[in-house]
Structure 1
C-alpha cells in the first residue's frame, strides 16, 4: 500500500489509501463503476470485500457505509436490475477534496505510464483543475 500513501494526502490513514484506489477506478472507468467490477478489482489487490481485512476490518462496510456516509462515495441502485445491482460514483466530498489530476498522476506512477496517454481522462482532469482553480480564485 506504500505506493498509494505516497500520493494520498493523508498517508497516516490507510482507509484514505483504500478510498484513493476506489476513486481511481471510478475515474478511469468514466465516472461510474458497477459494484461487482469494484469488488473484483479490489480482490486483485488482495482486499476481498467478503473477508475481514487486518487493516480495514469489514471492507464492504467501510466502502458502502462509512465512505458513503462521509460523502466520499455515492452507492446507487441501478434501476430495473434483477437481481438488484449497485454502482459507485464519486461523492460530493471527493469532488471538493480530491484532484482528478492527482488521481491520473497516481495511475501513471502505478502503471508506469504517461498520464497524457489516457487522453480523455487527462482532458477531464485538467479542465476540472483549471475550472475549480478559477472558481476558487473568484471567492477570494
Structure 2
C-alpha cells in the first residue's frame, strides 16, 4: 500500500510511507482536522487530516535526522558502518521487545545504554547517544513511532537536586484521522475509557493545587461512581489497578509524605501526561467544566 500526504489546495506532497501496490491511501492535509473518505473505483481512499499534525511528524523526523548528523560528525571514536548498523538494529529490536513485554511501559535510558555496550565489541564514548538517535530516526521513519525521551525528577525526600532519571516512552506519530482510516477508530481501543478516568484525575490534581492526597482522590472518584476496589463495568478492571498502571507508565506520579500515623500518598501529574497534555489544555478543560 502506498501513502502520501499533500496539502489541500497545494501541490506540495510528503511521502509518509512507501510501497509498490497500485491502490493506496492519500492523505489530504487541511486545517479543519476532520476526516474525509472518498473512494476512487474502490481502490483509493482520501483522508483529510490536520496539516499541523502532518507538519509535526515531519518536524520530529527532521529533528532526529539533524541529531544523527550532528552526532556522526562529532564522533571521535572509530567504528565501522557495519558495526554501527548492527548496533542500531539490535537496539531497535530491544526497544520494541521491552515496549511489548512491559505493555507500553517506560524504558530506562540506562537500560538502553547497557544493551548497546553489551552488544558492542568495546565501550566507546559517543557511540550510545548516536545509536539511540539512529533508533529514534528509524522508529519514526519506518513505524511512525516517536521514541520520546522524558525525565523523572528526583524524589523530594532524597534532597537530590540532580537532573533526574531519563527514560523513553514509545508513542504513535500517526494523526488521529489517519489512524482511524488505516487501523481503526480510537474509540475501539480498550484504553480510551481509562484515559477518560486519567483526564478526571488530572483535573482533580489541578484544582487541588498540583497534588492530591490519595484518600481525597478516591473520595471524589467515589462520588462519580468509581469505587477503589470494585471492578468497574466500563473500565473492565478494578479502578485502583488502573490508577497503579497510570503510575507505572508515569502518567501519574506518587510521593510519600510522612505523617503522624502513616505515610501519606500524594498524587501528581507525571511526565508522560505532561508531554501529551499541556498545562494550558488542563487549565482550559478545568475552567470549562467549572463554568458548566
**Farther off after superposition, 69-78 or 103-112:** 103-112
In 2, Cα distance between the equivalents of 1:30 and 1:45?
21
d(CA) in 2 for partners of 1:34 and 1:99? 22
Regions of 4+ moved over 4 Å? none
Q: Distance in 2 between matches of 1:86 and 1:36?
A: 8
Match of 1:20 among 195, 199, 205: 199
CA deviation string 1:44-95 (max 9, x = no partner) = 11111131111221101110x2001111000221124423321101111112
Q: Which has the larger radius of gyration?
A: 2
- Counterpart mapping for 1:41-60 below 5 A: 41-56=220-235, 57-60=237-240
- Alpha-carbon deviations, 1:72-127, whole Å to 9, x = none? 000221124423321101111112111222222222332326xxxxxxxxxxxxxx
8 Å contact kept, 1:11–1:17: no
Higher RCO structure (Cα 8 Å, ≥6 apart): 1
Number of aligned positions between the proteins = 104
Distance 1:11 1:40 in 2: 30
1:22 is paired with a residue of what secondary structure? helix
Kindly indicate whether residue 241 of structure 2 is the aligned counterpart of residue 61 of structure 1: yes
How many angstroms apart in 1 are the aligned matches of 2:206 and 2:255? 16
Aligned residue among 72, 85, 105 for 2:251:
72
Compute the RMSD of aligned alpha carbons: 2.0
TM-score, structure 1 length as denominator?
A: 0.66
Q: Give the counterpart of 1:94 among 269, 273, 283.
A: 273
Tell me, which stretches of 5 or more residues in structure 1 are unaligned? Answer: 1-8, 114-140
Equivalent of 2:214, from 35, 39, 44? 35
Q: Which has the higher strand share?
A: 2
Equivalent-residue separation in structure 2 for 1:11 and 1:83 (angstroms): 41
Pick closer, same or farther for the CA change 1:28–1:80 going to 2, 3 Å. Answer: same
Measured at CA, do residues 42 and 11 of structure 1 come closer, stay the same or move farther in structure 2, by a change above 3 Å? farther
